[in-house]
Structure 1
């Protein structure tokens, strides 16, 4: 049995999620200790526990020690089964991270899967539903995956209550992805959403972001969205011929609309200055599907701790080598070889 140290590297929930995904796919049992040891609240939170219970359901796995707050647990998978799954986090935890845990495994099922997820859809420190829809899934579809997602209702912290649906078809084998150039600029947009708060907040954010980005007024859009509680998110879209990236800011108590917009704009401007097609958050999300494809490469900005930690965990489960090397003044090249 493979034993993992949850305090390794970045020491967060990603170690748990990647281990569950690759355990399901490879059939490798594992035990993880010191779960999320580097976090303010260590141990399994509801989102991580939902990932465990979902992986258990999909593979009829044997699981010991996985409870709310657990610092260690053991996971022994069975065979992957497609079908219908209803996954409720029970909090505002990220449904996108739960989806990214089970999605690669369900691509390996012998029948289509239909998954309903409920909880948070727009969470800080996690991909949003829109990010999955416009950034992550288009690239994985290019590798041969087949999945469609549909939003029913947005869910923001702390109320949660969001819901959406995913239809996933089996894929025999993913093909390597090479993403060294972004290509020609196709679209740029600023979208500010609010739920159960005044639309003026969204307008202020969009106008602030447009000013910071030096973009014209026709790139701005503000909307009211349906949600159970209050919520606010601004997204800056930069779409090129070969890739779309999104940079987000989230409203919070005692944080001005202008400060929320500035956070998103700062990330977007850093991405533009880097000159690489793949942003720092997308880089760690692409590693696992590319490793399953046994190859590929991309150019990115300075790798985060998430990226390096995820690479190390993947190499424990799969016979691949993940190279992360400087490739210019501000860019880095990530390559996967088997």
Structure 2
């Protein structure tokens, strides 16, 4: 089997997850050295190991080095099999990142699949379950992917315990799309999730967002998790334009006032509204792989992040495509060519 050599020190967990996705989609194996070498805790953590084991299970892969703390990994995939799968991270590690690792391979399978994932659903360093359902999946739907996500139980750090269930239909060929113009603003919606904390905290966050954007601050937009597995709080806004949807989160922290959590979110949303680019920073690097599988497409975004750069270069190792980007006025345009 063809094997691609990857320097894992050039990125974090995303580099590993992207390599797993690409390996599953192409049937090309890889060997990664120095995994997460520049992180405070190098090597595979529990969520990374879950992604590796999940990718191996859906493809019958041969794997060497799949162990906690491992800094080298060899992954040789077999054919991806659609099915009904369940994976538990066993910590508050992100369940959504495991989901994003598997989705591209499963939509290329011959029949539908269902995934049940247990772990963290709202982590500061990962896309939230709300981001996946409100922003990521609608963007994929424009390209032809039919997938749905249900959040059964929210899970926060450090308790975890969240439960997600996703279904994905077969989609053998993606359609190239241009995410260039977002169109007129249609709606702004705010929601707050609180677990193991007073609902009044969420209401204070909503009130700040209502003052800034005029969103509905009715208490029904505060979801209180019962029973609470542990403390957690996230304030969110969904921005609906005529041609695109973006979702933004701000996570509560010990010692950070509710007004500051909401204020941080408001600043992020305002920057997006003022910027004019279609795709937000977090979605931008996540669109690269489906664009490459479609063989074309483009988007506008406010900046070229390190995640986007490293992801683009990795994808080019597995697929016969080239990414390029150029600044055009106040934002950047990113495109892919065969």
Q: Does TM, normalized by the shorter one, top 0.5?
A: yes
Change (3 A) 1:24 1:217: closer
Measure the CA separation in 2 of the matches of 1:143 and 1:254: 42
Deviation at 1:4?
Answer: 0.3
Change (3 A) 1:244 1:217: closer
- Cα deviation, 1:175-220, whole Å, max 9, x if unaligned, reads 1011110012111012111112101110111222333xx3225266
Match of 1:215 among 213, 216, 229: 213
1:193 aligns with 2:193: yes
Change (3 A) 1:294 1:198: same
Measure the CA separation in 2 of the matches of 1:68 and 1:238: 39
1:33 aligns with 2:47: no
| More moved, 128-137 vs 251-260 | 251-260
| More moved, 261-270 vs 179-188 | 261-270
Measure the CA separation in 1 of the matches of 2:18 and 2:94: 15
Alignment match, 2:96: 96
1:311 aligns with 2:309: no
Matched residue SS, 1:47: helix
Measure the CA separation in 1 of the matches of 2:245 and 2:229: 29
Matched residue SS, 1:319: coil
1:301 aligns with 2:302: yes
| More moved, 152-161 vs 227-236 | 227-236
Deviation at 1:61?
Answer: 0.3
Measure the CA separation in 1 of the matches of 2:216 and 2:173: 42
Matched residue SS, 1:40: coil
Alignment match, 2:205: 205
| More moved, 76-85 vs 201-210 | 201-210
Deviation at 1:38?
Answer: 2.2
Alignment match, 1:231: 232
Deviation at 1:142?
Answer: 1.3
**Gapped regions of structure 1 (runs ≥ 5):** none
Alignment match, 2:247: 246
Q: Is the 8 A contact 1:189 1:219 kept in 2?
A: no
- 1:1-338 map, 5 Å: 1-8=3-10, 11-211=11-211, 214-216=212-214, 218=216, 221-226=221-226, 227-329=228-330, 331-338=331-338
Measure the CA separation in 2 of the matches of 1:84 and 1:155: 22
Q: Is the 8 A contact 2:190 2:215 kept in 1?
A: no
Q: Is the 8 A contact 2:122 2:129 kept in 1?
A: yes
| More moved, 263-272 vs 219-228 | 219-228
Measure the CA separation in 2 of the matches of 1:38 and 1:275: 34
Q: Is the 8 A contact 1:276 1:299 kept in 2?
A: yes
Q: Is the 8 A contact 1:56 1:62 kept in 2?
A: yes
RMSD, matched Cα: 1.2
Deviation at 1:73?
Answer: 0.7
Deviation at 1:136?
Answer: 0.4
Measure the CA separation in 1 of the matches of 2:300 and 2:215: 31
Measure the CA separation in 1 of the matches of 2:334 and 2:121: 29
Change (3 A) 1:293 1:217: closer
Scaled by the length of structure 2, the TM-score of the pair is: 0.96
Q: Is the 8 A contact 2:235 2:250 kept in 1?
A: yes
Q: Is the 8 A contact 1:25 1:108 kept in 2?
A: yes
Q: Is the 8 A contact 2:207 2:217 kept in 1?
A: no
**Number of corresponding residues:** 333
Deviation at 1:52?
Answer: 0.1
Measure the CA separation in 2 of the matches of 1:244 and 1:219: 21
